């Protein structure tokens, strides 16, 4: 990591550093804030991403956003503002990933190779039905209805 050391600027408050960055656009001032809060941002990212590489990528993306957002917004408490910015970024990434997983689900995959639909036969006496019901209860209502109609009741996808 690039270290910028200026004893006078390291004594400045967050708001003073931010004010100087907003006034001049010099990245050295923002670099001081980056050094102060890199671990905080990474920690929040890791909490939401649960993957070290994704957390590092998210932290870098957040600091890239800071270059423009820090000049656009009036910030009274930099640390709190940065925490909210970080949390919102991570939540948006999680939503985006969730939408991509849903979009990758192709209806034609629900049919077998020979074009016929199959129902699932589950024995209630060995606990399979209970396990299936528990899993289906975690699905959103619309998905749960589709899975039940297709796999358990034998309806086609179009039905």
User: pLDDT tens for residues 22-46?
Assistant: 999 999 999 999 899 999 999 999 9
Give CA–CA dist 25/65, Å, rounded. 14
pLDDT at 127: 66
Residue 2 placed within a domain: no
**Do 114 and 148 belong together in one domain?**
yes
Find all residues with CB under 8 Å of 22, minimum gap 6, and list them. Answer: 70, 71
- pLDDT for the residue 158: 64
In a domain, 158, yes or no: no
| Best CA proximity match to 71, nearest among 121, 29, 11 | 29
In a domain, 157, yes or no: no
Report the pLDDT value the prediction gives residue 107, as an integer from 0 to 100. Answer: 56
Whether residue 78 is found in the same domain as residue 114 = no
**CATH code of the domain containing 99:** 1.10.1740.10
Is residue 159 included in any domain, yes or no? Answer: no
- Find, among 40, 36, 52, 54, the residue nearest to 86 by Cα: 40
* CB distance 58 to 49 below 8 Å: yes
Portion of the chain with pLDDT greater than 70, in percent:
74
- pTM reported for the whole predicted model: 0.57
- Per the structure, the complete domain to which residue 96 belongs is given by 7-103
pLDDT of residue 7: 43
Clarify whether residues 49 and 81 are in a common domain. yes
First-to-last C-alpha distance (Å) of the chain = 57
- pLDDT above 90 as % of the chain: 47
Residue 122 shares a structural domain with residue 62 = no
- The reply to whether 63 and 138 lie within a common domain is no
* Pair (39, 76) in one structural domain: yes
The size of the chain, in residues, is 159
Res 150: pLDDT: 74
**How far apart are alpha carbons 21 and 18 in whole angstroms?**
5
If one counts the domains in the chain, the total is: 2
Q: What is the pLDDT of residues 70-107, one digit of tens each?
A: 999 999 999 999 999 999 999 999 998 888 776 665 55
My answer on whether 146 and 72 are in the same domain is no
């Amino acid at each position: 990591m690039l270290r910028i050391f200026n004893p006078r600027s390291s004594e400045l408050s967050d708001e003073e550093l931010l004010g100087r960055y907003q006034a001049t656009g010099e990245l050295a001032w923002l670099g001081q804030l980056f050094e102060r809060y890199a671990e905080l941002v990474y920690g929040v990212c890791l909490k939401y991403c649960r993957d070290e590489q994704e957390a590092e990528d998210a932290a870098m993306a957040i600091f890239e956003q800071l270059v423009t957002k820090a000049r656009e917004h009036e910030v009274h408490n930099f640390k709190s503002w940065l925490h909210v910015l970080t949390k919102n970024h991570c939540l948006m990434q999680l939503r985006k990933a969730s939408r991509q997983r849903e979009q990758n689900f192709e209806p034609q995959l629900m049919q077998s190779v020979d074009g016929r639909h199959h129902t699932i036969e589950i024995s209630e006496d060995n606990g399979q039905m209970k396990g299936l019901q528990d899993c289906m209860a975690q699905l959103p209502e619309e998905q749960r209805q589709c899975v039940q109609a297709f796999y358990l009741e034998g309806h086609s996808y179009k039905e």
